[in-house]
Amino acid sequence: MDKLTVNIGKLHLKNPVMTASGTFGYGKEYSDFIDLSRIGGIFVKGTTIRNRQGNDYPRMAETPSGMLNAVGLQNKGVDYFVSNIYPEIKDFDTNVIVNVSGSTIEDYVECTEKLVDLDKIPAIELNISCPNVKEGGMAFGVCADSAADVTRAVRKVWDKTLIVKLSPNVTDVTEIARAVEAEGADSVSLINTLLGMAIDINKRRPVLSTVTGGLSGPCVKPVALRMVWQTYNAVKIPVIGMGGISCWQDAIEFILAGSSAIQIGTHNFIDPTISVKVVDGIKEYLDKNNISSICDLVGALEI
């Protein structure tokens, strides 16, 4: 077995490096920059039951060491994905995972049901943590009961790997993680963006049309690491860590904190080749330290 291979439920990864939803399109947009077969998986952009136009502009803003976004899950809906996008990406030599979002539990279930028969989709990621949607989205992810409800409903119709994406905008992330684990989640991914805002002092108005948006980038990494470590010590299912990863050293930190795999998000905008660089860096680290499997590093933080 290759020293980089990882299993997340039934999902087999050739290495622990994946790209985060909303930052990598559908993968094909990056195929001119990297060999997609070099990475463990691609989380495609958020998919909803119906077409979404997203939020009004401006919906992105630069901040020190990060960015704010309020795109609002713009996509053409799951039917368009199934008929137009899936045929173009189904033969990628890597895992293609669909990020599923909704405004109601019924939306999540209906959207998931349309993906069940797609043989080349081995997993979905339930997005119950998006701070840029006026209804649903993060509302499900900030309460243990509602997070459990949506996970339970989707689990009934989805028998492949189920990953639930958690919000950092909560008092105790471990409470939410344990709730979705109890309802059949195979893994949790975290963190989604932190709720933030920016102000134009000349106009005396918020920069974003939605006033608040999701903060990502290197600035969120310490918060993400803390939450991954807390969650790893609270649940028995694998944790997928993300939040400000911009180099292989960051990825190793997340793995030591308890991540079985990682997702790279915002840094894809800065360096489209970052994911393969992180794969190479992790392998060199394992070789240099005579570590036979990446799994030996998961949660190996000494305290």
Asked if residue 37 belongs to a known ligand binding site, the reply is no
The single-letter code of the amino acid at 190 is L
Give 297-301's long-range contacts (Cβ < 8 A, gap of 24+). Answer: 297/252, 297/255, 297/256, 298/255, 298/256, 298/258, 298/259, 298/260, 299/232, 299/233, 299/256, 299/257, 299/258, 300/256, 301/229, 301/256, 301/257, 301/258
Which residues have a Cβ under 8 Å from the Cβ of 96 and sit 6 or more positions away?
27, 41, 42, 44, 89, 90, 120, 121, 122
Asked if residue 23 belongs to a known ligand binding site, the reply is no
User: Which two structure tokens, joined as six digits, stand for 76?
Assistant: 């053409």
Q: Which of 130, 143, 219, 295 is catalytic?
A: 130
User: Which two structure tokens, joined as six digits, stand for 20?
Assistant: 């985060």
User: Which two structure tokens, joined as six digits, stand for 101?
Assistant: 């979002």
Asked if residue 193 belongs to a known ligand binding site, the reply is yes
Asked if residue 191 belongs to a known ligand binding site, the reply is yes
Asked if residue 70 belongs to a known ligand binding site, the reply is yes
Asked if residue 281 belongs to a known ligand binding site, the reply is no
Asked if residue 45 belongs to a known ligand binding site, the reply is yes
Q: Is 219 one of the catalytic residues?
A: no
What is d(CA 122, CA 163) in angstroms, rounded to the nearest whole number? Answer: 11
User: What are the DSSP E strand ranges found in 74-132?
Assistant: 95-100, 123-127
Asked if residue 165 belongs to a known ligand binding site, the reply is yes
What is d(CA 43, CA 73) in angstroms, rounded to the nearest whole number? Answer: 14
Asked if residue 228 belongs to a known ligand binding site, the reply is no
Asked if residue 127 belongs to a known ligand binding site, the reply is yes
Asked if residue 243 belongs to a known ligand binding site, the reply is yes
Asked if residue 266 belongs to a known ligand binding site, the reply is yes
Binding-site members for FMN are 21, 45-46, 99, 127, 165, 191, 217, 243-244, 265-266
Q: Could you tell me which residues are annotated as the binding site?
A: 21, 45-46, 69-73, 99, 127, 165, 191-193, 217, 243-244, 265-266
Where in the sequence numbering do the catalytic residues fall? 130
